[in-house]
Chain A
Amino acid sequence: MTFLIRTIDITASGREIRRERLSEGLGLTVGRAAENDIHLPDLAVEQRHIGITLSKVGTLDIAALGTLGFGLDGRVVTQAAIDPATGGEIALGSARLAVIREGDAIAITISQIAADEGRGDVLRGFALASVLPSKRAMSWTFAGAILLVLLMLPVASHLLRTPARPDPTGRTPGVVLMDSAWSSGELSLKHQSLTENCESCHVAAFESVQDETCLSCHKDIGDHAPMGRLAKGSPALSPGDAIQWKIGQTLGKEGPLGCVACHSEHEGPVRAAAGNAAFCSDCHKDMNLRLTDTAIANAHDFGKGHPEFRPLYYASFGAAKPVRAAPGTKPVERSGLKFPHDVHMNKAGGAARMAVSLKQYGKPLECADCHVLAPDRISFREVKMEDACEGCHSLVSGRITGGGFSKLRHGDLKQLAADLAKVSAAPRPSLAPQRQRPGQLGSTAPSYRADFGRPVRAYIGISNALSAGGVCTECHLPTTGPSGQADLVPVNLPDRFLASGYFNHEAHKKQECSDCHAAGTSKAASDLLMPDLKSCRQCHLGAGATKTAKIVPSDCAMCHAYHLPAGQWQGLGQHKGPAPHYRPAPLAAATAAPARVAKVRN
C-alpha cells in the first residue's frame, strides 16, 4: 500500500510550502519521536501517538498507541476506522491529518491550524441571545410604548386641552387622547352619551369626581335631607370604609354622602338600580337613636316595620296649611265642601238616576266621572265644579236671545252677584216651551231644578243663594266675611294626601277604587278616605316576603324615592315645574351648583 504524505507549511511571510513523499507499507505510525513515519514536533503529541493500519476490508484502522486519544472528525476517540473513499480528519495537537484515497494511494495531508481561534466567541452562538434583541432593548421598547401611549399621551392631551363645559347630549367630543383605555368599565345606560368625553366628569387631574360636576346637569335633583342631618343619621361606617373615606376625603374626595358614593359609575351598561331595602334601613331602622329630634318614625320593612300612614289634611276650615294626621287617629277633614260620597255612589239612588238620564253619563256615576288620574299616575287632577258637578248641579240662569243658556259663574262671589243682578234686571225668557204654572220656574221634567229665588228678590238673591237652603250651600258651607257679609268657606283640598311617598294608581287599576277608599259608605265630606297601612299589607309585605299570587314583596323604592321622596325621578330634563306639593320649596335652580352644595352642607 502506498501512502502519499503531503505536508503543508505556511512561512512567516504567508507563503505555502508543500512537500510530498511516498511511504510504502501496511501501516504508519504518527508521533513526536523522530522514528515515526509521520513526525509531528508538538509537545501535545505523544512520542508514539497513533498507528494507522490498512485492514483486510479496506478501511484504515486508527488506534491510539499510548494513553491519550486523538481527534477524529472533531470527536476524541482512542480507536476508530476511516473509509478511505469518504476520508476523515485526524487531529493531533495543532496538526490536522486529512486522510483520503487519491487514485491507488492513500493521501495524508498534514496541516497546522491556529489553536482555538476565537472559540469563546463562537460558543456564544449557542445562546438564544445571539439571535434575539437584548432583554434590555426589548424591555425598554415595550415599557416605553406602554408609558407613551397609555400614560403620557392622555396626560399631555389632558393638560394641554381647553376645558369645556360638560355636555350631557354627547355632541361635544372628548379631546383627551387614549383616555378610553383608562376606563375601568362601561358607563351606565343613561350616561352612555358621555362615553367619549371622560373629562366631562373627570374635570381636573388627580381630583375625584365632584358633586358640583354632577349637579351641573342634574340641576333639579332634590336633596334627601341636609348634609348635616344625613351625616348624623347615618350609621357608623365599617372600619375599612372609615379608613378609606378618611384618606379619600383628605385627598379631596366628596365623602360617603357625595353623589358617587352611591352612584358608582363604570359598572357596565346597566340602569343604575334603586337602593335596596337594606340601603334604606341602614339609616331608617333605628334613626331615632342618632337623630333624636326627628319626626320621622323608624322603618325597615314594609311588612314588619313601617309606621302608620299620616296623610295630609286640612284640620280646620280655611286653614292656610294642611297638617299630617297623628298616627292612629281618625282625622276629620275640613275641606269646606259638603259632599256625601254615599249619595253619589249609590247605584240606585237619585244621583244615579239623574246620571242615567243625562247624555254625558248615561249610567250611574263612577269614581272616574269626577276623579281623573294625573299624568304622573300618582295623583289626580283637581276636581273642577264646571266639569264634574255642573252636569247635575246646574247653574243655568236663563235663555239667551241668540239661543243657548246663560249661567251663573262659579268660583267668585262678585261675579256671582253680578250674574244674579242681571237675572233680576231683565225679564227672563221661559226656560222651557211647556206651559207654566204660576210660581213655577224651569221645566217640568223630573230633572234637577235650581232655586235662584224669585225675580222680585233680585237684590237679595245673592244673600239667599249664599244662605242655608240657597243654591251655593248645596255644596258649600255658608259663613260670614270679615265685614259681616254672607260668604262661603273656602275650599281646601291637598293635591296629594301622602306627601312622603307615592302610590302608583296606574299599577293598581285592576283593583276597584272602593277596595281601598271606603267612599261607598262615607256620608260626609269630613271623612278622610285614605286607606290605612293594614289594607296595603293585605297584598304588600316587605322585600324579604315570599312572592305568591296575592303577596307582592315590596321594597322601599316601590313607594319612596331617595332624592324626591314624594315622586318618582322622571329623568334628566323631564322633571319640570314645581316640586311635588307641600314639600319644602326646593333651593332655587338658578343658584350656582357650588353654592347649592355649600348650602346643603351647612
Chain B
Amino acid sequence: MTAGASRSRFREDETRRDSDHVSFLRHKRFRWAWAALALSLAAAAGYALIDQDPRPNGGSWYGYTLGTIGLGLILWLSLLGVRKRRINPGAWSLKAWTSAHVYLGLSLVVVGTLHTGFQIGWNVHSLAYVLMLLVIATGVYGVVAYTTLPARLSDNRREMTRAQMLDALTAIDRQLDGAAQPLARGEADLVLAALRQSPFAGGALARLTGRYPACQTARALAGMDTASEAQQRVRALLEKRAAQLAQIRGALRIQAALEVWLFLHITLTIALIAALSAHVISVFYYW
C-alpha cells in the first residue's frame, strides 16, 4: 500500500469515526438547522414585504406558495418512517435525513403559520394547522426525551436488567407463596390477589403518572396484620415485592415517557395527512 493511499484511507476512517459520534442534531455543523433558518427567514421576509389585499391569507399567490412548500415538507417529513426502514449508505444517510427531518420540521411552524395569515377558526383548515403544531410539539418532546430520559432509565436499573427485575419479582413471589401457607383465608386472599396481579397491570395513564390505585400488593400490605410470625414474614416479603414493583414501575414510567411521543407523533401525522387532504380538496371543491 502506498503512503498516499494509506493517508487517504486514514482520512476516510477519521471522517467516518467523527460522523459516527456526532449527534444527528449537530450533523454536518448544523447544516439543516441553517437551511431551516434560511427557509423561515425567507418566508417571513416575503410575508412582511409582499402586500396582500385585502389581508394575507392562504388564497393569495404567496399563500399558495407557502401552502405548497408546507404540504411538500409535511409529505417528505412523514417519509422518514419509510426511509428508516431502508438500510442504505451514502450521502443520504439516515442521520442526515433525521437531522433534516427535525430542523425542517421546526421551520414548518413558520411556514404553516404564515400560510394561515393568522386566521384561525373552527374549521378543517385550522384543524390541519393545529394537528401540524401538535405533531411538531410531540417531535420536539421526542428529541428532548431521547436526550434526557435514557440516563434516568439507566439510573433506575441499578445494575439489573429488566429480565432480572422480573426474575426478582418471581423469586419473591415463590417465597410469598410458601410463606403465606399458614395464613387465614382473608389474608391468604390478599396475598393471592397480589401474586395474581401482573407487574404490568395498569393502563398507559398509570404508567405515565406512576400512580397505581388498583395495586394489589399495596392493598395486601395495608391489610396484613403483624401478629404472628407468619404474618410478619409475609409482610416483610410483601414489602420486598412492593420495592421490586416500584423499580419495575419506575422503568415503565420512564420508558412510557420515552415512547409516548412517538405514538402521538405517528398517529397525529397520519391524522394530519388526512386533514390536509380534506383541507386541500375542500378549498378547491368550494373554490
Contact = CB atoms under 8 A, between A and B. Distances in A.
Interface string A250-291: 000100000000001001000001000000000000000000
B270 A140 contact: yes
A393 interface: no
Given A123-B163, A151-B281, A74 B175 contact: no
B171 A73 contact: yes
Contact of A143 (B121, B164, B172, B270): B270
Nearest to A119: B163
B61 A240 contact: yes
Contacts of B255: 126-128
Contacts of B19: none
A207 B268 CA distance: 31
A208 interface: yes
Contact of A87 (B164, B179, B273): B179
Which of A75, A85, A98, A267 has the most chain B CB atoms closer than 10 A to its own CB?
A: A75
Contacts of A128: 204, 207, 255-256, 259-260, 263
Contact of A135 (B237, B267, B278): B267
A89 B287 contact: no
Contacts of A183: 121, 123
Contacts of B55: 267
Interface string A62-75: 00000000010111
A312 interface: no
B186 interface: no
B199 A125 contact: yes
A108 to B, nearest CB: 12
A131 B204 contact: yes
Given A88-B175, A127-B259, A151-B281, A146 B275 contact: yes
A147 interface: yes
Contact of B274 (A143, A198, A241, A253): A143
B168 A73 contact: yes
Nearest to B199: A125
B275 A135 contact: no
A186 to B, nearest CB: 8
A76 to B, nearest CB: 7
Interface in A112-161: 119, 122-123, 125-132, 135, 138-140, 142-144, 146-147, 150-151, 154-155, 158
Nearest to A186: B121
B284 A184 contact: no
A40 interface: no
Interface residues of B, number: 75
A232 interface: no
Interface in A388-412: none
A198 B228 CA distance: 79
A208 B204 contact: no
B160 interface: yes
B145 to A, nearest CB: 12
A91 interface: yes
A452 to B, nearest CB: 68
A132 B204 contact: yes
Nearest to B120: A185
A151 B162 CA distance: 47
Given A96-B171, A184-B123, A126 B286 contact: no
A155 B263 contact: no
B192 interface: no
Contacts of B27: none
B233 interface: yes
A164 interface: no
B271 A146 contact: yes
Contacts of B281: 151, 155
Contacts of A253: 287
Contacts of B236: 83, 85-86
Contact of A73 (B172, B266, B275, B283): B172
A585 to B, nearest CB: 33
Given A100-B175, A147-B278, A244-B64, A142 B271 contact: yes
A179 B278 CA distance: 11
A244 B274 CA distance: 26
Given A98-B178, A135-B267, A139-B271, A150 B127 contact: yes
A323 interface: no
A243 interface: yes
B90 interface: no
A130 B207 CA distance: 11
A139 B263 CA distance: 9
Nearest to A151: B278
B232 interface: yes
Nearest to B248: A126
Contact of A139 (B54, B171, B207, B266): B266
B68 to A, nearest CB: 12
A206 B287 CA distance: 6
A74 B244 CA distance: 10
A498 to B, nearest CB: 30
A87 B233 contact: yes
A209 interface: yes
B271 A76 contact: no
Interface in B165-205: 165-172, 174-175, 178-179, 198-200, 202-204
B138 to A, nearest CB: 12
A295 interface: no
Given A87-B175, A181-B123, A142 B267 contact: yes
Query: Which of B121, B273, B286: most chain A CB closer than 10 A?
Result: B286
Nearest to A142: B271
A190 interface: no
A91 B168 CA distance: 10
B285 A147 contact: no
B155 interface: no
B171 A74 contact: yes
A184 B57 contact: yes
Interface string A171-187: 00000000111111110
A98 B121 CA distance: 67
B62 interface: yes
B174 A132 contact: no
15 contacts: A73-B172, A73-B240, A74-B172, A125-B199, A129-B259, A142-B270, A155-B281, A179-B282, A182-B285, A184-B59, A184-B119, A185-B119, A202-B287, A206-B287, A244-B64
Given A100-B233, A129-B263, 17 more contacts: A74-B171, A87-B179, A88-B175, A89-B172, A100-B178, A122-B163, A139-B267, A140-B270, A142-B267, A142-B270, A150-B275, A151-B124, A151-B278, A151-B282, A182-B282, A185-B121, A241-B61
Interface of B: 50, 53-55, 57-62, 64-65, 119, 121-125, 127, 160, 162-172, 174-175, 178-179, 198-200, 202-204, 207, 229, 232-233, 236-237, 240, 244, 251-252, 255-256, 259-260, 262-263, 266-271, 273-275, 277-278, 281-287
